[in-house]
Amino acid sequence: DFQKIEYPKPDGKLTFDRLSSVFVSNTNHEENQPAHLTLKDATVPVRINLPKFAGPESRYCPAGVYEFVAAEGGGERLQINAQNCVHCKTCDIKDPTQNI
């Protein structure tokens, strides 16, 4: 029911893009490290959160860990980019279904 907020682009002096901020956080994940972010029920993001709350996972994470992408066969699926996680615990707090 609300309009999307259009934030100004990062200026590289006072504000920075997400990837630069993740790098500066000094959080390091190995490429083959098992994902530490798990879902209690993998169907909840698309079945409940996307239609009811417009997929808040893609907005509340400051590092852009969660994104909805096109699924094979149509529709969308939640992709978790765990390597970007900065361990802020926002997903534990903000997920409306407490599924993460």
pTM of structure? 0.72
Per-residue pLDDT of the chain (100 residues; tens, 9 = 90+): 778 878 888 888 888 887 777 777 777 666 677 778 889 999 999 999 999 999 999 988 888 889 999 999 999 999 998 878 888 888 889 999 999 9
Q: Which two tokens stand for residue 51?
A: 């239609």
Strands 66-70, 76-80: parallel, antiparallel or unpaired by DSSP?
antiparallel
Give the integer Cα–Cα distance in Å for 95 and 49: 9
Of the candidates 96, 29, 30, 84, which has an alpha carbon nearest to the alpha carbon of residue 57? 96
Conformation bin of residue 52: beta by default, left when phi > 0, alpha when psi is -120 to 50: alpha
Cβ proximity of 66 and 89 under 8 Å:
no
pLDDT at 17: 80
pLDDT at 29: 65
